[in-house]
Amino acid sequence: MATIANYRREDINKDNPIFSPIRTTIESTFYGNNVVKVSSLSEAYKLAKNSPGTIVTDMPVHRPTELGLDEGSKILLFNDGEITGRFAGARVIIGEHNVDEGQFSAIAREAAFHTRYKKLYHAQVLIGLHEDFMVKAHLLIPEGYENTMYSWMLNFQYITEEYMKMYKDSVKLPEGDIYILSIPEYYPPTHPNGLALFDPNHNCALLCGMRYFGEHKKGTLTLAWGIANRNGFASCHGGIKRYNFPGNEKYTIGVFGLSGSGKSTITHEKHDGKYDITILHDDAYVISTENGSSVALEPSYFDKTQDYPTNHPSNKYLLTVQNCGVTMDDEGNKVIVTEDIRNGNGRAVKSKLWAENRVNKIDEPVDAIAWLMKDATIPPVIKINNPILASTMGATLATKRSTAERLAEGVDMNALVIEPYANPFRTYPLENDYEKFKELFANRNVECYIFNTGHFLNKKIPKEITLKILEDIATKKAEFKELGNFSDIEFMEIEGFIPNMKDEEYQKMWVNSINYRKQFLLDMEIFKGGRDKLPKEALELLEKLEKEIYL
């Protein structure tokens, strides 16, 4: 499946659902006489290298010609300034309750007008690495932000003859290409902290005052996930891997979590080389509700640099670096300073070569889904045996924020929050995800687990325990037993982390945890005009859990 780039003249009219005022405003800007089309990744590299403020390190790109770059290409670093994370407060989605399309159409027209005296670069990529799901995306960004464009082209699939043939041969979706206009130095008067405007049904976005590369990456994925949702796929913000055992036995598990939840660590874990492991991706993919197969959306990785000191072996796979430092080593070479010494949320685009045994599609249906949470009530792992409850727990995924986000003033970084399916980039009703995941659990017999990657009670759960749990589940050595009186929840006995369901204080914690989720679902019935309301069965299952605590 692939999007449609161009239309016959007789199909260009107001009745064509592809077009809207905002999409037409944004796409038109791409054809101005101040626009320069960037035709290759090597051209984008040269533009970024020569852009004012770029630091060309003395660290070479590993195997550059395999990535579409020239021999001798170096890792480039570019820093943004004060803001080093995504800002949810800037997001506005056309179609949501009380969002005036006319007002934001006017803002889009004014923003587009402010580009007329700027040189603009037009870049293209593909999102989705298999014929089953491919989306073409276009980015327009002003001169001076060549590094953002270059990282964007590296993060997604730059245009090659091979991939364009796949794209052209794919069955066309009733969807237009994605168009994103970015004007990092323009702040609409109505949005002095920046605006990330999405018209998801028409596959376009306007980013104003957004310097941070993550806004461009996740903004693009926001629209791609929306297309997937409308066309028979579950949109996934997480990692997925397959264990390949002797005798053609396989086990595929997807893990869903926010940045900092451990999804990348879990996805890339090799268990000391004991198993043959295939990796699809650690951040973005889609699962077909028709056959359970999965398709990766990106070839590269946008990863934190916090856990990778300068001489860490993984750093040889870096392509670009954002919001990190540079120093001179003892041989006079410019090298990066990582570990968030300069600021929080230092980031880098890593090449596809970082992960061995990468594939673009996993044909086998997914066997298990794990929601990654940071809820002190939950032991290191529980198993959910009811499809409705499994999807409900995904819809009420409880976790904590990370440095990847720019939080509004007064927001507590350590407060427990609910982020449905670990995807803050959803632009469609929550029930769409709820039904798709419930279908996977009910009709495709997908197992559901919750991994607590934070603290159980007041005790930190080491990542080694989480990884051992993962290994035991994949090798079918994991043993689960009933958790208290819960009819649909089981747990694994792990020394030092055994829950006591007869303890009154612990029972109260469960009540609070369930009530927190119940209140979230009740809030969704009125929030945004009830757009994210879930079926009554979700709330009823949580109420059943609460009653079972005291049986």
Maximal CA-CA distance, the chain: 72
What does the pLDDT read at residue 210? 96
Q: Does domain 236-299+360-499 have CATH number 3.90.228.20?
A: yes
What does the pLDDT read at residue 414? 57
Query: How many Å apart are CA 538 and CA 279, to the nearest integer?
Result: 32
**9-231: CATH number:** 3.40.449.10
233-245 and 195-199 strand pairing: unpaired
What does the pLDDT read at residue 401? 52
Structure tokens belonging to residue 401: 């924020």
What does the pLDDT read at residue 258? 87
CA–CA distance from 311 to each of 138, 264, 337, 470 (Å)?
Answer: 36, 20, 10, 29
Query: pLDDT digit of tens for each residue in the chain (551 aa)?
Result: 788 777 778 777 887 878 899 999 999 999 999 999 999 999 999 999 999 999 999 999 999 999 999 999 999 999 999 999 989 899 999 999 999 999 999 999 999 999 999 999 999 999 999 999 999 999 999 999 999 999 999 999 999 999 999 999 998 888 999 999 999 999 999 999 999 999 999 999 999 999 999 999 999 999 999 999 999 999 999 999 999 999 999 999 999 998 788 899 999 999 999 999 999 999 999 999 999 999 999 999 999 999 999 999 999 999 999 999 999 999 999 999 999 999 999 999 999 999 888 999 999 999 999 999 999 999 999 999 999 999 999 999 998 754 444 544 544 445 689 999 999 999 999 999 999 999 999 999 999 999 999 999 999 999 999 999 999 999 999 999 999 999 999 999 999 999 999 999 999 999 999 999 999 999 999 988 899 999 999 999 999 999 999 87
What does the pLDDT read at residue 454? 94
326 and 48 in contact (C-beta within 8 Å)?
A: no
Q: What are phi and psi of 249, to 5 degrees?
A: -80, 135
**Helix (H, G, I), strand (E, B), or coil: what is residue 142?**
strand
**Domain ranges across the chain:** 9-231, 236-299+360-499, 302-354
Angle, alpha carbons 306-254-474 (nearest 5°): 105
First-to-last CA distance in the chain? Answer: 51
- Which DSSP string corresponds to 197-258? EEEGGGTEEEEES---HHHHHHHHHHHHHHHHHHTTEEEEEEEEEEEEEGGGEEEEEEEE--
Instruction: Outline where 262-405 has alpha helix (H).
Output: 263-268, 387-395
